[in-house]
Amino acid sequence: MKLPFAESYRIKMVETIKRSTREERANWIKEANYNLFGLKSDYVFIDLLTDSGTGAMSDKQWSAMMEGDESYAGSRSYYNMKDAIKDILGFDYFIPTHQGRAAENVLYSIIIKEGDILPGNSHFDTTKGHIEFRKAIPVDCTIDEASDTQLEIPFKGNVDIAKLEAVLKKYPKEQIPAVVLTVTNNTAGGQPVSMQNIKEVSALCVKYDVPLQMDSARFAENAYFIKTREEGYADKSMREIVREMFSYADIMTMSSKKDAIVNMGGFVAFKSEELWKSCQKICIMNEGFITYGGMSGRDMNALAQGLHEGTDFEYLETRIKQIEYLGQKLDEYNIPYQRPAGGHAIFVDAKKILTHVPKEEFIAQTLGIELYLEAGVRGVEVGALLADRDPVTHENRYPELELFRLAIPRRTYTNNHMNVIAAALKNVYDRREEITRGYEITYEAPIMRHFTIGLKPAE
Ligand code: F0G
């Protein structure tokens, strides 16, 4: 008999999570103004709001923390991080920052000026925020296939090369500080970018003399998909694939809260010594001295160790198979989601489920509230609330897709939890015809409204 798959680790420390009643949850979500971000975490049974900073560190990471060097300048932990970044990713220069968006801030404060254009595949919210805040424009050149959730192709996060070239042709290179390639493509559903596509994007960057920045939060998951899906990579090691991916990049920004499996931390890494030097002043002003940036020594040590563990094939296989497992359970129940299952999350296609809820009443948010009421499972809306208002007309923007993201923290939940999530979704799915109304806004901030929004049931 073929042996079944099992996790490549065992559990040494546990954290209690609490069940609740539907009645309690109905009160709590009302108190939170129907905003999932407004819930106390104690009111959540299975928390899939994000896979960012929510993973479980290993015994080796915790022991590395004990050896953290908290020296203000020249800390040993900085050099441990430097060695890991050079060894695994191939970059000579880097600046530690407190998380990914801080890395974007350090870099973009130097390279972006008003009116600039930054093409790429779906920029992450904070990346987009940092670009738009500087009155520059992110241009999304993701392949069109990414918005057909039922289409099953291996590299749905890819850049459409023709769209990218059109942008590079249209504007002078002085107006394009970087092409931003996000691996994996979070917004499109945690979908990977192929090595072939990375090469083609890089070739265009060389042709038009524009630097390539990789937003690398989930680079290791991307590398796993290259190994398991792309021709010619099955026999290459994770390290070889990762090194090849970054051989094409000039700059990388990293939220280490994802694939470096730490609770806090990030960095920006450079091939160019000159750019590294010019970014240092922004780090000193906002983050801290250049050998710790926004991080403590113990956190830099855990990050260095996490880069090794996060690029280990056995670990990645365990992780990605768990997301696949959840996808298979949803398949059994005919629940539609962005196919194939992503690297860090399942993106449920809410529009295909709640067909009676008008888009003006926030379909994906409505599904999220129903799932929370059903079982205390918390995910996050990737739909009209997140899309926010048009900055010029102030009208609501209604994106083509209304997705509800279930992001799976690393090494944190078991497949029994996946069974609960799938069963809870099935129960909501079974009563989908009865769900006809959504929510209306009672309060919203002028930008990034989804975090603090207030809602009430639509009447
Ligand atoms: N880039 C990508 C692709 C991300 O997914 C994130 C964060 C960031 C940059 C910013 O990093 O949070 O460390 O400042 N994504 C989280 C999420 C928040 O839930 O997807 P950060």
Candidate list 82, 227, 351, 450, residue with the active-site label = 450
- Tell how far CA 136 is from the center of its chain: 22
Atom number, ligand 1, closest to the C-alpha of residue 50: 19
For residue range 378-406, list pLDDT tens digits in order: 999 999 999 998 878 999 999 999 999 99
Q: Which two tokens stand for residue 141?
A: 């050149």
- Measured in Å, residue 258 CA sits from the centre of ligand 1 at 8
pTM score above 0.95: yes
Among 275, 268, 281, 271, CA closest to 96 = 268
Q: Give residue 419's identity as a one-letter amino acid code.
A: N
Domain 22-51+313-457 has CATH 3.20.20.70: no
- Out of 216, 258, 410, give the residue to mutate to test ligand 1, the one with the largest number of ligand atoms within 8 Å of its CB: 258
- Measured in Å, residue 129 CA sits from the centre of ligand 1 at 12
Q: State the chain's mean pLDDT as an integer.
A: 97
CB–CB of 306/316 below 8 Å? no
Question: What residue ranges line ligand 1, CB within 6 angstroms?
Answer: 50, 52, 99-101, 124, 126-127, 182, 186, 215, 217, 255, 257, 266
- Measured in Å, residue 49 CA sits from the centre of ligand 1 at 12
d(CA 101, CA 400): 26
pLDDT at 306: 98
- Measured in Å, residue 237 CA sits from the centre of ligand 1 at 26
- Measured in Å, residue 371 CA sits from the centre of ligand 1 at 24
| Stronger pLDDT, 330 or 133, i.e. the higher one | 330
d(CA 385, CA 399): 10
For residue range 155-187, list pLDDT tens digits in order: 999 999 999 999 999 999 999 999 999 999 999
Q: What letters, b where the CB count within 10 A reaches 16 and e where it falls short, cover 116-140?
A: bbbbbbbbbbbbbbbbeebebbbbb
CB–CB of 66/298 below 8 Å? yes
Where do we find the tokens 């920029």? 123
Candidate list 47, 51, 116, 215, residue with the active-site label = 215
Q: Is 258 one of the annotated active-site residues of the chain? A: yes
CB–CB of 101/269 below 8 Å? no
Q: Is 217 one of the annotated active-site residues of the chain? A: yes
Candidate list 98, 227, 258, 417, residue with the active-site label = 258
Q: Is 269 one of the annotated active-site residues of the chain? A: no
- Out of 52, 182, 380, give the residue to mutate to test ligand 1, the one with the largest number of ligand atoms within 8 Å of its CB: 52
Pick one of 3.30.70.330, 3.40.640.10, 3.90.550.10, 3.30.540.10 as the CATH number of 59-310: 3.40.640.10
Q: Is 424 one of the annotated active-site residues of the chain? A: no
Strand pairing category for 117-120 and 93-97: unpaired
Candidate list 217, 249, 269, 302, residue with the active-site label = 217
Going by alpha carbons, the residue nearest to atom 20 of ligand 1 is: 50
Atom number, ligand 1, closest to the C-alpha of residue 344: 20
Residues 6 or more apart in contact with residue 133 via CB below 8 angstroms: none
Residues 6 or more apart in contact with residue 325 via CB below 8 angstroms: 415, 418
d(CA 342, CA 403): 13
Query: Above 90 in pLDDT, residue 292?
Result: yes
Going by alpha carbons, the residue nearest to atom 16 of ligand 1 is: 52
Q: Tell me 2's DSSP state.
A: P
Q: Where are the domains of the chain?
A: 22-51+313-457, 59-310
For residue range 255-285, list pLDDT tens digits in order: 999 999 999 999 999 999 999 999 999 999 9
Q: Where are the beta strands (DSSP E) in 129-286?
A: 137-140, 179-182, 212-215, 251-255, 266-270
- Measured in Å, residue 380 CA sits from the centre of ligand 1 at 13
pLDDT at 180: 98
Going by alpha carbons, the residue nearest to atom 11 of ligand 1 is: 100
Place 93 in a pLDDT band, splitting at 50, 70 and 90.
Answer: very high
DSSP 29-42: HHHTTT-GGGS-GG
Q: What are phi and psi of 396, to 5 degrees?
A: -60, 140
Query: Above 90 in pLDDT, residue 447?
Result: no
CB–CB of 49/36 below 8 Å? yes
pLDDT at 298: 98
Query: Above 80 in pLDDT, residue 427?
Result: yes
- Out of 122, 214, 255, 267, give the residue to mutate to test ligand 1, the one with the largest number of ligand atoms within 8 Å of its CB: 255
Q: Is 430 one of the annotated active-site residues of the chain? A: no
